Structure 1
């Protein structure tokens, strides 16, 4: 982005400020629903340029953020509870069902592939991956939770690994069955809350919890979108 702006703005610090302010402004427009689709497209361009410029610091959430912006750009989401809807007095709201179904298929594939990848290896089945995650060099839990006691209870790492595998691998099945949907939704949210609290991955957990709530929390018994 700095290279792109360099011919017009001969100041690296000013280019960064312009990028930050534009990114922030577009994010606000998406949140309040003022021409969200156009704002999401422009924000997606900035998001991708940011990822490509700092790929060494990417750990997955960046791609989920880009995908989230893609869905906002595709969906007529600013028909509902939006500033545009309020100012333009939109009465005939677009049907979000086809977009949500595509979104649901996407999230089911994402969890299944993640769970399948974990179960075919041994690092998650024996708890090694969980142990490594909380023992990364320089890692410090923000809540100052002393995890030394876990060394005397290795079964906790194994249980955490299998819990993650089961929730992800069977997500497409149980999240789409009405009787088990609520339970699986809460289990998935609990998984991401644990990731946030134990590994400090707040943004990643927030994005994934938002994906789950958006797709399945408002489903009624017939699998249709509940009206508010």
Structure 2
């Protein structure tokens, strides 16, 4: 998945406290979402597990300012990925970070897992790890509810992941490691509100089909069990 630039992300951090779209044509918030308190920050240093854990969790819960998203983990199909993500979750790596990317046309993705909110952040010192459980190269190979790793090429997985909120077709390049069992309706509402970018000439926000979520999504806590 392509990533937002650091320059754009820094600019986005400065407009969290104002309405992203002035005189908006559609809602700019999802009812029930609370005001975020997080700030973009450098990725934490977390010891990277180099082999699959003997005991793997079955569920991941992402508590956000808009509600909980519960993911059933595909431990048999992506054990290394789940080992890595579980280590990050237990180290509170994801806590108080933002979901930094939303796509609303062609691809239907909410992307999270980067504390810098730039689209380029990953755990300090990690060099990337192998792909697992890649789908077939066919239509709708990333169906609604799928949770998969974002990467910059083969073997570059880190901490960034995306949630599919409508059937999506992608190259078979992204490890599928979970399925949303609760909170998919919430992600769909965030997708319906839309995404925005900033105009470079006047720094004003405008609707975009690939950008930062208009409804700010803050990860408050990630837990596994």
> TM-score category by the smaller chain?
under 0.3
Q: Which has the higher helix share?
A: 1
* TM-score between the two structures when normalised by the length of structure 1: 0.24
Which structure features the higher share of strand residues? 2
Larger C-alpha radius of gyration, 1 or 2?
1
Report 1 or 2 for greater relative contact order, CA contacts < 8 Å, sequence distance ≥ 6. Answer: 2
Scaled by the length of structure 2, the TM-score of the pair is 0.24
